[in-house]
Chains A and B, each alone.
Chain A
């Protein structure tokens, strides 16, 4: 307790150095009183500076400009200490690229320090400049953007125009890139960097000439920012809506939005209200050393100006290693009746979003800290930007209209969701963003849960117009999230949707979500969390952990042989005995006009599933034992190969997730091929298009295509791997077109199948749905949604591994040293059979 109380009258020295540790290590036996009487030992200044910087702005009880002034003063007073110098620049520059929220505050510290001692800013600039240059040269755009922002926030320091010439140069490169190719996304990224830097620059200075120059830059960027990018339409989260219907959200590109917002801000005299102004030239550091007033050096020193470092923007710029795509501004809460987040007309929406996303994506290595930063987001923006934390949504209604009514929780959650729904893919695995929401809920459940509730309702309400891949991400997140919170959700409010056809996207969403929940838990547990009305969706049969063996039923054809095979597999009988029984099946089948190998394969694979039904490991070891025969079956007959899939999916009908896992492993064994999975699902089992509403089918296709595309990407990576001997890379290079073609054939097969459904072209469909227009429309909608998703995925892969982006393989001039690392197997998938059918 004493720590907390001390803190406020202890301004100079961070949080009471090491009190916690001392308490534990040495003072275990001391009474509290004794500790407080002992003269306080100050930590050395370097340590205090380090803490002061790391924790800057985090404590809402301390005014940030005071903290900044004190840390700056402390640094200025101790700059002759080498440890202080190293710590200060090391921590400050690391914070810039790791904790973007704190950039204006760190810059503030430098400005305060400069008022006392010009050396500090000079040192910082000279250390930051090579980093800025390095990030720029390497095409590390995020780090470059943040370091440039740091320079922008220190604009008062420079003698000349500061960063403006860099912005101009960046724009020229963007134009070059855009002129070279309309598909270019790096130029777009450069323009985004320009646009997001301008506000920080203008908030840091009142220099009218800089404002003038910034406005000139802004005039130029308009042409790039306002032109729609050709790929933009592919990454639209709500594509199936026409302008007249009104989209659930605006879905405009991030840069066109920012361009408009900045023009708006310019016409309002660049108020830029949300950016904190940390440096106040009239503010004096108080009690910088924590031990009483330090007013000895009364007269103000001169604020030294510095030369801006020379930064060269290379031409052409290095485009970086990450493939970039244009971004759409995604917001669940923006532009609605109640303004719980900044409207998309306000530059604050872009500034907040940009800083939050960088924080989230940089700090993926500690989701707990990231969630805490998001929880205290109001500390990092100017006071009054947000309403008080945990203000309820209903209260916002009654708020006066002249102040923002932005809820910090909504702004943070909105940003996390924008990543889950980022197309084509977010920076990190989706489960990271899931875990971030979970942690945020743990930190302040009462504040976050209602925001999540509104998000979930928004998403559900618009699930039928959402991009289909995103509805599956929604399902995946929702099921996973609920599994972390006792499966609590107000299911009662969706009871009316249960009357919809299973083909309706809303109903399909409910069915799919329950299945996700069951996969992470078990059927009875999930059923117990649901109102009665939902129970038919989870039939008793889902509770059987071990499905029945169909050949135990005498009515099944080949019941006797089925049971025999099962016994033989259990007893690990010799292969000849198995073959004898299967031969008998072949004979009978032939007499009945059934494909013999299909009939025997059904028996064999179903028996494998049954022997291995206890767990995934069991079925895997059984498959491993039987793989020779299974491989032989596949190579003999394609219908038999697809029967393997049918048997697995049939056996595990009540546990669709398990079936998908087994097929996944069968792909690894090359017992089934990617093409056989696709044709099994989208040709043999299309069910006149109904299959497209089934989440299991989508998952089967997804895991298959992921394996294939991932493999082609790996092949390309290995081909470009300078650590490999050149002859090996040449061999890989020769294999690349074949691999790529295999992938294209698979995309084409999907396209063929689903485009037909989208157009209602399947003959059977027309007959079947004559008069059942609603169903037909739903099925066509699914066809259209599938087509969109897979066209995008195909386009994305072309952008990553297509002929157009792959440069010719050139032998490196210098022989690479003998540091050849062991070549990792390309992946679990065998090297043949990729495109075989």
Chain B
């Protein structure tokens, strides 16, 4: 733009950017990557990789939220190309996240702007740009099969299987004692 020395792109922050979580995760990975394998080119920058992204990671879903519900909300930003439910690695039941793929990048951005942070099935959902679904990524990476964040959760969340599984195991010893006392 001629004549303008703008140190800023917008006067307010944009919501259609990768979240700070995604950026920090990426930076961490990059730091740990010593890049000894010279046969493989350095992986491109995250922002670059996401420049045409049509997929979103959707988090904080209830385990009971169905594909149809997700479809009903997300189709408000454009036709869905694919919807992959996140599953518990062992039970193969939904574990509270999914990947939504649109036909266009713009639809994915619109979704970040207008749907991320609103409610689905009465929970605030989280959306993040994603570099694209790959086989295997539909499974939870937590020890007990679900998402890592659900392992140690100390709050009771009825939509996501009650207390965290690991947390529950840790507590069980005490619970037995109390049961014995009663």
Contacts and interface: CB of A to CB of B under 8 A. Distances in A.
> Is B a genuine binding partner of A?
yes
Interface of A: 54, 86-87, 89-91, 93-95, 98-99, 126-127, 130-131, 134, 363-369, 428-432, 434-435, 438, 480, 483-484, 486, 519-522, 545, 615-617, 655, 657-658, 661, 664, 827-828
A439 to B, nearest CB: 9
A86 to B, nearest CB: 4
Q: Main SS of chain B's interface residues?
A: loop
Given A429-B114, A616-B71, A86 B79 contact: no
A89 B7 CA distance: 10
Contacts of A365: 10, 12, 14-16, 113
B11 interface: yes
B113 A367 contact: yes
A130 B15 CA distance: 30
Contacts of B103: 827-828
A98 B118 contact: no
9 contacts: A90-B8, A131-B1, A365-B12, A365-B15, A480-B73, A521-B69, A521-B122, A616-B68, A655-B68
Interface string B57-83: 000000000111101110111010101
Nearest to A483: B119
Given A367-B114, A480-B76, A520-B120, A86 B69 contact: no
B118 A520 contact: no
A669 to B, nearest CB: 13
A520 B69 contact: yes
Given A430-B76, A657-B72, A90 B5 contact: yes
Contact of A432 (B6, B79, B114): B114
Contacts of A431: 76-77, 110, 114-115
B88 to A, nearest CB: 16
B13 A369 contact: yes
Q: Main SS of chain A's interface residues?
A: helix
B85 interface: yes
Contact of A89 (B5, B67, B121): B5
A582 to B, nearest CB: 30
A663 to B, nearest CB: 13
B3 interface: yes
Given A367-B113, A435-B118, 10 more contacts: A95-B11, A126-B3, A366-B12, A369-B12, A432-B113, A432-B114, A615-B66, A616-B83, A661-B71, A827-B103
Contacts of A95: 11
Most buried by A among B1, B85, B113: B113
Interface of B: 1-8, 10-16, 66-69, 71-73, 75-77, 79, 81, 83-85, 103, 110, 113-115, 118-122
A657 B68 contact: yes
Nearest to A655: B68
Most buried by A among B66, B67, B85: B67
Given A367-B114, A519-B68, A98 B11 contact: yes
Nearest to B72: A519
A827 B102 CA distance: 12
Contact of B68 (A86, A434, A435, A615): A615
Contacts of A54: 11
A127 B6 CA distance: 11
A86 B3 CA distance: 10
B126 to A, nearest CB: 15
A617 B114 contact: no
Contact of A127 (B3, B84, B121): B3
Contacts of B120: 483, 520
A615 B79 contact: no
A99 B120 CA distance: 31
Contacts of B11: 54, 91, 94-95, 98-99
Nearest to B104: A824
A553 to B, nearest CB: 25
B3 A130 contact: yes
B4 to A, nearest CB: 6
List of 10 A-B pairs having minimum Cβ-Cβ separation, nearest first: A431-B76, A519-B72, A90-B6, A86-B5, A615-B67, A369-B12, A365-B14, A127-B3, A484-B119, A616-B67
Contacts of A89: 4-5
Contacts of A617: 67, 83-85
A366 B6 contact: no
B7 A86 contact: yes
Most buried by A among B76, B77, B114, B118: B114
Contact of A435 (B16, B67, B114): B114
A513 B73 CA distance: 15
B121 A520 contact: yes
Nearest to B15: A366
Contact of A130 (B2, B71, B73, B115): B2
Nearest to B69: A520
Contacts of B8: 90-91, 94
Given A86-B5, A127-B3, A429-B114, A519 B77 contact: no
Nearest to B17: A365
A721 to B, nearest CB: 15
A440 to B, nearest CB: 13
A367 B4 CA distance: 27
A131 B1 CA distance: 8
Contacts of A658: 68
